[in-house]
Structure 1
Amino acid sequence: MFKSWLQRPETKKYAADVGSLDPTKAKRQEAKAKSNRVLGKLGAKDLKLTEYEQIIAAEVIHSDEISVNFKQIGGLDHIIQDLRESVIYPLCYPELFTSASGLLGAPRGVLLYGPPGCGKTMLAKALAKESGATFINIHVSTLTDKYYGESNKLVSAVFSLARKLQPSIVFIDEIDSFLRERRSTDHETTGMMKAEFMSLWDGLTTGEDGRIVILGATNRPNDIDSAILRRMPKRFSVRLPSESQRRSILELLLKNIELATDFNMTELVQRTAGLSGSDLKELCRNAAMIPIREFVRSVRPASTSEDASQDLVNLDTSKINTRPLTVADFYSFEATNEKSYSYISDETPQQENLD
């Protein structure tokens, strides 16, 4: 009788109406579809996941989705080598690091800290590309939920999913915004999330054989909770590049750019003291645009009509001939924008003490 009641049209309509009231239904369906695609790429299509693990699985980044590798990062060779030896090798080749004392395994946590624009996130991307481990890029918004207790279940799902897909690297960018110093004024839910995260990371029931590493990046390490820092014994200071590091970065950025025969790289390296890797990239980008602008103006020197842009679209690419880049182009950009920008300075700005 109950079965026949379920088959009635009015019952089905009522069930559909109730289901449409679920505010998280669309989100859960989207997360499930994305997690299925991710698991398919990882070759774990038959892996059974809970509802919460499916939400976290949507944050998994496959190596094919990342174009950055360690060869594209200049001036940080010492950090790259240490990351390979202390993180990648123990995670991916555990048989080489087996020890009765448990001293040879990968660290539970790694922290990249330093001023903005110095390559912390690029290191994380390259690590995801070359490590071969499952890379879970956690956003704080993924872990927060308006329903009480749901955030704790999502935090728990991070570690349960990482165990199922290990070796795993869980990356939290701007980790200070999530795991900052605990205070009595913190909201109850926030405190519970932090406690749950720390307990699952390195708590009473945490085993020694897990191949899970938490990777964090921040430019405010002093704001991170001391209990979190204790769980991140491997810390790398990614500071403003030195002269030799700036040379490596500039050579990498300009390797596919035609340079003038009298291009003085040493002069440019010396004049860019105090700039971060991100600043150097922006400087090179704007300098490289100057020959392009000159060519565009030469093609349509006095035209302001709408046909000018169409002429450029129809331009034969074989006739495009721009001059080589000169050191003066870097100073030209500074001169025309000195009120708004200061990319090149003879003085090195003070760097914030992050130790």
Structure 2
Amino acid sequence: MAFRRSDWDKYRDNDVTPEAVFNQRRKLIQALGAGSVAGPLEGLAAAGRVGAAVVGALGAATVARAEVKIAGSVALAECADLPATKNNRWATLEKVTDSSLVTTYNNFYEFGTDKSDPARHALSLKTRPWSVVVEGECNRPRTFAIEDLLKLAPMEERIYKFRCVEAWSVVVPWIGYPLSRLLKAVEPNSRAKFVAFETLADPQQMPGLRSPVLDWPYKEGLRMDEAMHELALLTFGQYGKVLPNQSGAPIRMVLPWKYGFKSIKSIVRIRLTEKQPPTSWNDSAPREYGFFSNVNPMVDHPRWSQATERRLGEGALGGLFAPRRKTELFNGYAEAVQGLYAGLDLKKWF
């Protein structure tokens, strides 16, 4: 096919396949053709777990998924190292999920609603310069440059379990420090009862904003006692590296006892408030997504059970046919956080 010079003008740097991905693709396809995927698929068909008619489609989907995983691995490998001291107090002993899954199977609707969209499209996000406004009910409001936030407190690595409201889970070594260190720096006053967060909303960088799936910008919130809890991690990295764009670079929250959508990404604004702030999913579907949204196997989502979950990376095809595991109250962190909700009916206050 011949290209006119004007055809090349349609393409940007971000449209070019990274060299490492291109070089790995041939090896990947050769391996798949040699039976590394065909064998498990055929075995599943023979066992009656999938119909023979869908084996070909699954094989094609697996090839595409594997290519996205390579792209995610390349993106993480290209991130700068982020040294941190391991905090064993909060480190789960469960097996850490492979980084290629964590960086390519996630929700970040600003880049699209498919699980692989963030890995495909987040290269457009520019994380320098970056600043976070911290304001509201505090004595020392301030705009922090990301460089200042990186130096505000010592970095810790914490291996947390992470549970999505969609009933899948991962185990990730995150890097950051307690959100309380930032909040104390702005000196909350007596009227500060809640903390509101806001994600960047730039349609030029985030193609998902063209969709009305949510009322942009993305918003989240916590009660002040939740925000000050030691488990609430202001997060800058994972797997020993700074966050790749698709994981919420350059700064996000990780709240391991809550469903994953509470762990807001790419933060640009934090506001201390007297009243409970609006949050995106609670505003969009209050019957399905509560303000607290603590992991609770006793309270089902209206459209699926929360009693069990699927751990990415377990079972055949990277967890596609993984056995279900029981979900723990507060995602296994009940001993640390249940005191925050003393007196609340956990079946009502979801």
Return the structure number with greater helix share: 1
Choose 1 or 2 for highest CA Rg.
Answer: 1
TM range (shorter): under 0.3
TM-score (norm 2): 0.24
